[in-house]
Amino acid sequence: MPKSPFFTEEHTLFRTSIREFLHKEMTPHFGEWEANEQIPRWAWEKMGEMGYLALGHPEAYGGMPVDWFTHVVYCEELSRALNAGFAAAMTVHQYMATNHLSRAGSDLLRQKYLAPAIQGKKIACLGMSEPHVGSNVQGLKTFAQDMGDHYLVTGSKIFITNGYYADFMTLCCNTDQGISLIVVDLDADGVSRNKLKKIGWHSSDTAEVFFDQVKVPKENLIGEAGKGFYLISDSLQTERLIASISSLGTLDGVMAMTQQYMREREAFGRPIAKFQALRHRMADLATEIEACRQLIYSTVWKVENGVFAVKECSMCKLYSAELTIKVVNECLQMYGGYGYMEDFPIAQVYRDCRAGSIAGGTSEIMREIIAKMTLDGVEYKQAY
């Protein structure tokens, strides 16, 4: 078989290493974390100790610059373990909350927040969505008032992954200069949090966070005041591509689990994997997954080579999220009545996968971006 045009031997070794690590150190605890709706601190620190939270960050702060296909391997394997809450918590911490510190944070902010986040000693979250605004960055109500040597932050955020247990938030808010990004310590006076109950992603905590005249040092500003919209807009492409890769990992994991079940489960004296109607349904799903994989890998290749691939990232997010819902639904059907039982992992995957078409930009938003670019000729350029 010819070598992959995307993955090297080093990627393959890394895949084996992280898969074995997750199987040994993390997956035995997934049931406990689902029940407790919390990932314990030791798990974050273990991920940091192994260097997984360092991927993509500057070496000066304990990071490890890597190519994009290393991120592919990492995110695929996180999701292939089939605990979407765990995968979401780690990827939000790494690719959404701390990447802005990597790109535009001062040395002081990187030393104070990024370095311990890379070690897993501080947990990070990103504060964008608001109760009456959603993720419309330009309509945000949370405001940081300039008081000279500090800001006073007032407002609220909702649907914040890691928000209940996080140590700090990369807050997207309004300032006198426009949308800005500010790091807020979540143990500061005036911060309160409400843990939200969800259909799935139970291992991952999700919160509504309130700010009542929270005093934040001016030095906690990331980059320039008023430039936060550009930072967020650029990073959304990374967020959507990471979400797509994560969906691909879920697809691989749920298909492998279901195929194994079909080989073992017998009906009418033979494995259900031998029934043509079921075999052909699985063949169709495998074909669609491979098409999704090639779309994602080709987009990653473009991004790796400097393309600001807004259209392709949106297509990846849309297609992979919708396909995951379809595939998991079909796979659950293969289990019959057992698929509806909590004792079978497919039930959790079924709950978890529904968030994919909502989080990180809904499928409707993805379709509108694609329509603007393909029908209206709109072009998006990297701004920061």
Q: Is residue 4's pLDDT more than 80?
A: no
The per-residue pLDDT for 139 is 83
d(CA 34, CA 97): 23
- Looking only at the bridges linking them, the beta strands covering 168-175 and 124-127 are parallel
DSSP SS3 for 161: strand
Q: Is 239 a catalytic residue?
A: yes
pLDDT tens for 13-28 read: 999 999 999 999 999 9
d(CA 345, CA 296): 26
How many angstroms separate the CA atoms of 125 and 133, rounded? 19
Question: What HEC string does 220-251 produce?
Answer: HEECCCCCHHHHHHHHHHHHHHHHHHHHHHHH
Question: In angstroms, what CA-CA distances link 230 with 224, 251, 271, 278?
Answer: 11, 32, 55, 48
Torsion from C-alpha of 13, 16, 17, 22, nearest 10 degrees: 160
- C-alpha closest to that of 239 among 129, 314, 169: 314
Single out the catalytic residue among 34, 76, 77, 239. Answer: 239
SS3 of 171, please?
A: strand
Q: 360, 239 in Cβ contact below 8 A? A: yes
pLDDT at position 5, please?
A: 85
Q: Is residue 263 over pLDDT 70?
A: yes
**Predicted pLDDT at 174:** 95
Across the range 365-375, mean pLDDT stands at 97
Q: Average the pLDDT over 35-53 and give the result.
A: 97
Please give the full DSSP string across 184-198, using - where no structure is assigned: EETTSTTEEEEEPP-
Residue 282 has pLDDT above 70, yes or no: yes
The domains of the chain, with CATH numbers, are 9-118 (1.10.540.10), 124-227 (2.40.110.10), 229-375 (1.20.140.10)
Q: 138 pLDDT exceeds 90?
A: no
Q: Which pLDDT value is given to residue 137? A: 76
**CA distances (Å), 296 to each of 36, 244, 323, in order?**
34, 7, 13
pLDDT digits (tens, 9 = 90+) for 100-136: 999 999 999 999 999 999 999 999 999 999 998 766 7
Q: What is the mean pLDDT of the chain?
A: 96
Return the pLDDT at 135.
Answer: 64
- pLDDT above 90 covers a percentage of the chain that reads 94
Percent of the chain with pLDDT over 70: 98
pLDDT band with cut points at 50, 70 and 90 for residue 2: low
E strand spans, the chain = 124-127, 143-146, 150-161, 168-175, 178-185, 191-195, 206-217, 221-222, 266-267, 270-271
Beta strands 206-217; 168-175: pairing state: unpaired
DSSP bridge pairs for 54:
none
The per-residue pLDDT for 357 is 96
How large is the average pLDDT for residues 271-288?
98
**Separation of alpha carbons 135 and 302, rounded Å:** 26
CB 82 within 8 A of CB 252: no
pLDDT of residue 384: 65
| Residue 377 confidence class, pLDDT cut points 50, 70, 90 | very high
Distances (CA, A) of 88 to 83, 192, 302: 9, 23, 24
- Residues across the chain: 384
Using one digit for the tens of pLDDT, what is the confidence trace for 211-234?
999 999 999 999 999 999 989 988
Taking the C-alpha atoms of residue 36 and residue 40, their distance in angstroms, rounded to an integer, is 9
pTM (2 d.p.): 0.95
pLDDT tens per residue across span 171-214 = 999 999 999 999 999 999 999 999 999 999 999 999 999 999 99
